[in-house]
């Protein structure tokens, strides 16, 4: 089976990812405008009617801004935990509250959307609740882990299972330390319920790399405390220390914050 992956946007201004087969697809998070989502998909010959579901990681605005429009107006089912749904209900950023489109899932309980077998798992963050997603389709195994306060055994477990991994590398520690953020925000970002730094992402990847991991995309890069080149280089150098060569053993890319990535396509 042929699988395609696309990042529509990945950063503090908004997050949205597409994973699909030639016939249909799903979105992970909906933190950018509906018109933008439609345009990016249409430019790649993907009609919105082919979107079978939306998976939501957590209830912060940059992940849910458009979920009401997609769920209620476009009649696309929205899957997430009961706690995340409660957070969406309370969010002032969601105009259309989810009713008919609401689908409740539980962590560690697999569910199926056509050819996708999906498991949500715990990821620590200062939202109402937060999950990563492990998605199997044929021989392809995708894991998406974003907004990670600290690395847990569950994060390690589902990362190790992936052929294709989307992992947060939010900030460079020196840029955050000496940057313009107020002290409380610096503490929040670097806390155990905040975000994952370039160094932490690099260490996780270097110490838990498996030969079946073929693609790594670094996601949710900070506008003020990171650069794509810096995130890429930090991970590349740490992998090299373990004898893992980017471009030969594994493909590495830093996703763009506000513009779409390339469309990545993988055959069986």
The answer to whether the predicted template modeling score (pTM) of the entire model surpasses 0.85 is: yes
CB 72 within 8 A of CB 100: yes
pLDDT at residue 1, rounded to an integer: 79
Nearest to 77 by CA among 42, 135, 27: 27
Structure tokens belonging to residue 216: 């790594």
Radius of gyration of the chain (CA): 17
Q: How far apart are CA 79 and CA 17, in angstroms?
A: 14
Axis-axis angle for helices 153-160, 198-208 (nearest 10): 60
pLDDT band at 201, cuts 50/70/90? very high
DSSP string, 208-235: H--TT--EEEEE-B-SSS--HHHHHHHH
The DSSP secondary-structure symbol of 98 reads -
pLDDT at residue 15, rounded to an integer: 98
Instruction: Please tell me whether residue 46 adopts helix, strand or coil conformation.
Output: coil
**Model pLDDT for residues 91-102, shown as the tens digit of each residue:** 999 989 999 999
Measured in whole angstroms, how far is the alpha carbon of residue 19 from the centre of its chain?
A: 11
Q: At 253, which helix (H) or strand (E)?
A: strand 251-254
CB 1 within 8 A of CB 21: yes
Q: State residue 227 phi and psi, 5-degree precision.
A: -135, 145
pLDDT band at 86, cuts 50/70/90? very high
- Give the up-direction half-sphere exposure of residue 147: CA atoms within 13 A in the CB hemisphere: 26
Bridge-based pairing of strands 25-28 and 51-55 is parallel
Residue 268: pLDDT above 80?
A: no
Structure tokens belonging to residue 246: 């980017």
Q: How far apart are CA 157 and CA 161, in angstroms?
A: 7
Residue 191: pLDDT above 90?
A: yes
Size of the chain in residues: 268
pLDDT at residue 123, rounded to an integer: 98
Q: How far apart are CA 202 and CA 250, in angstroms?
A: 13
CB 121 within 8 A of CB 108: yes
Residues 6+ apart with CB under 8 A from 167: 145, 146, 148, 159, 196, 201, 204, 205, 216, 217, 218, 219
């Amino acid at each position: 089976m042929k699988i395609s992956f696309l990042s529509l946007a990945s950063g503090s201004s908004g997050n949205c990812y597409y994973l699909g087969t030639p016939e249909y697809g799903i979105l992970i998070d909906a933190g950018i405008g509906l018109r933008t989502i439609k345009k990016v998909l249409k430019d790649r010959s993907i009609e919105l009617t082919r979107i079978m579901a939306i998976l939501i990681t957590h209830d912060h605005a940059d992940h849910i801004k458009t979920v009401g429009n997609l769920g209620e107006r476009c009649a696309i089912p929205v899957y997430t935990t009961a706690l995340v749904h409660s957070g969406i209900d309370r969010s002032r950023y969601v105009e259309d509250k989810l009713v008919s489109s609401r689908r409740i899932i539980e962590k560690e309980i697999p569910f199926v959307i056509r050819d996708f077998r999906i498991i949500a798992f715990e990821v620590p963050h200062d939202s109402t609740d937060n999950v990563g997603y492990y998605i199997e389709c044929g021989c392809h195994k995708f894991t998406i882990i974003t907004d990670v306060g600290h690395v847990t055994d569950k994060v390690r477990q589902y990362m190790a299972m992936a052929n294709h991994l989307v992992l947060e590398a939010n900030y460079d520690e020196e840029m955050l330390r000496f940057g313009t953020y107020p002290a409380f925000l610096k503490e929040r970002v670097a806390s155990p319920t905040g975000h994952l730094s370039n160094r932490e992402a690099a260490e996780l990847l270097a110490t838990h790399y498996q030969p079946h991991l073929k693609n790594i995309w670094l996601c949710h890069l900070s506008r003020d405390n990171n650069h794509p080149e810096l995130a890429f280089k930090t991970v590349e150098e740490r992998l090299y220390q373990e004898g893992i060569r980017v471009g030969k053993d594994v493909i590495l890319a830093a996703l763009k914050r506000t513009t779409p990535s390339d469309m990545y396509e993988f055959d069986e």
